[in-house]
C-alpha cells in the first residue's frame, strides 16, 4: 500500500491559496490521477481557469465556500462534490470568516508545475507589491 501523509506533501502557494500536492502526475505509480488539497483562507478567491484535457472533481472537506463552473456559481459546504468537465472555466472562493478546503482530483493527471502559475490565484484587491497578503 502506498501512503502519502499530508505533512509530507509538497506545498505550493499562490498569493493566499495553499495547495498541498498529495499526488502529482506520475507519482506513487499513478498513471491516471493527480490529487491536491486546496486551502482557501477567508477572503481569498481563485481566478477563472480551465484544464483543456482533464476533468476535475472537488470534494469539500472543511468549511463553506463558493464554486463557479461554466458561469454557474453555487455555495458549497463540507461533503459536497463538484464536477468540472474538461475545458470548462471554474474557480473557487471564500467570502466567509473561516478557512475553506477542498480536495481536487484530476484525470488525466496534470502536473502541479503546469497546473498553477502566478496568474491562477488572486485576492480581491491584491497588489503584486503588497507582501502582507
Instruction: Give the contacts of 66 (CB within 8 A, at least 6 positions apart).
Output: 73, 74, 75, 76, 92, 93, 94, 95
Full DSSP string of 68-105? EETTEEEEEETT-EEEE-TT--EEEE--SSS-EEEEEE
What is the reported pLDDT for 116?
59
CB count in 10 Å sphere of residue 9 = 17
Closest to 62 (Cα-Cα) out of 76, 46, 48: 76
**Would you say residue 123 lies in a domain?**
no
Which range marks the domain in which residue 23 is found? 6-114
**Would you say residue 65 lies in a domain?**
yes
**Would you say residue 18 lies in a domain?**
yes
Asked whether the beta carbons of 123 and 42 are under 8 A apart, the reply is: no
CATH of residue 97's domain is 2.60.120.10
**Would you say residue 106 lies in a domain?**
yes
**Would you say residue 131 lies in a domain?**
no
Sort 80 into a burial class: Cβ within 10 Å, 0-12 / 13-18 / 19+: middle
| CA–CA–CA angle 66, 67, 73 (5° rounding) | 90
For residue 103, list its beta bridge partners.
Answer: 37, 59
DSSP element (H, E) containing 112: helix 112-115
- Report the predicted TM-score, pTM, of the whole model to 2 decimal places: 0.82
What is the block-wise mean pLDDT of the chain (133 residues), using blocks of 10 residues?
91 86 88 94 90 93 97 97 96 94 92 60 47 43
What is the reported pLDDT for 115?
65
**Would you say residue 92 lies in a domain?**
yes
Structural domains counted in the chain: 1
**Would you say residue 121 lies in a domain?**
no
What is the reported pLDDT for 122?
44
Amino acid at each position: 500500500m502506498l501512503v502519502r501523509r499530508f505533512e509530507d506533501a509538497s506545498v505550493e502557494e499562490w498569493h493566499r491559496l495553499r495547495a498541498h500536492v498529495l499526488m502529482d502526475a506520475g507519482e506513487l505509480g499513478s498513471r491516471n490521477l493527480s490529487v491536491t488539497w486546496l486551502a482557501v483562507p477567508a477572503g481569498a478567491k481563485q481566478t477563472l481557469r480551465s484544464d483543456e484535457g482533464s476533468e476535475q472533481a472537488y470534494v469539500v472537506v472543511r468549511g463553506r465556500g463558493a464554486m463557479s463552473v461554466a458561469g454557474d456559481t453555487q455555495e458549497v459546504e463540507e461533503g459536497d462534490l463538484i464536477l468540472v468537465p474538461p475545458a470548462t472555466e471554474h474557480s473557487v472562493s471564500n467570502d466567509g470568516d473561516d478557512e475553506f478546503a477542498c480536495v481536487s482530483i484530476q484525470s488525466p493527471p496534470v502536473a502541479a508545475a503546469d497546473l498553477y502559475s502566478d496568474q491562477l490565484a488572486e485576492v480581491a484587491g491584491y497588489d503584486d507589491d503588497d507582501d502582507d497578503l
